[in-house]
Amino acid sequence: MAKVLGKGLGAIIRTHNADVNPQSTNYDLDIKKIIPNSNQPRQNFNTKAMEALVHSIKEQGILQPLAVRKINKNSYELIAGERRLRAAQNIGLKTVPVYIIKIDNESEMMELALIENIQRDDLNAIEEAEGYAILSGKYNFTQEKIAQKVSKSRPEIANKLRLLKLPPIIQESLRNNEIDYGHARALLSFRESKIILKIFKQIINKKLNVRQTELAVKSFKNEKKLILPIKKYNNIKKILTQFLETQVSIKINANNSGKVIINFSNHKELEKVILLITKDNHE
């Protein structure tokens, strides 16, 4: 059962004794007594997935109990099972099976509820990031502590949190599953919003997959390294050409190193160039 529930909820049940044994008959609770969880990171619910869940519950009932905690005689706060609760309400069920978790500490309950929701595999990347942000900002969790709580690496937590720095239109696209986490990670290699939005438009218009997006980002970086310095030194090239009265070219490498090439057609022109360059030393 613990595997079905997910390690987050399984840990809650083991750590915070429930009114029912996980292996025993579930307790049926009046659905009207259940209030939503204020720390639910999920904002969007896939319509097709919800329809499938509603159909499954109609056919087989709720196989996986919701987790709640008692607030008072007529009120229980949801810890885990938002989708199942919504589906049950859609069907018109009067009661739902639950585990009643005994947690007295308000802060700890919220932390556990949030972590349980974050650990669900189908949680959207941006919603997951928002969950981490709440743990960090509201409960002062370090990235290391968040990683430990949700059994993920610290770099992954850091990368997910960075998603919240993306322009709002890209965050919304992530939320609506128009782009994937891989797309967003590729975009995070830039700091300038203008560039990020430019590549994002390419992703949407050309329907680029993650690999194609990574290649587009790499190509843009190489183009930027090679083209921008040339533009920068065009003015210098013009000044040198006028001063030396001969054709001058500047070649720039990817690491911004390079060379200046001075052209001459005969020995007399070479002497003239040398004289101009060393003019101050001969005076």
Which residues are known to be catalytic?
Answer: 82
CB 87 within 8 A of CB 54: yes
DSSP state at residue 278 = T
- Distance between terminal CA atoms of the chain? 93
**CA gap 58, 62 in Å, rounded:** 9
Q: Which candidate, 75, 71, 70, places its Cα nearest to that of 100? A: 70
CB 201 within 8 A of CB 190: no
**CA gap 87, 58 in Å, rounded:** 9
- The DSSP bridge partners found for residue 78 are 68
**CA gap 257, 157 in Å, rounded:** 37
**CA gap 1, 22 in Å, rounded:** 7
Block residue for tokens 């000044």: 239
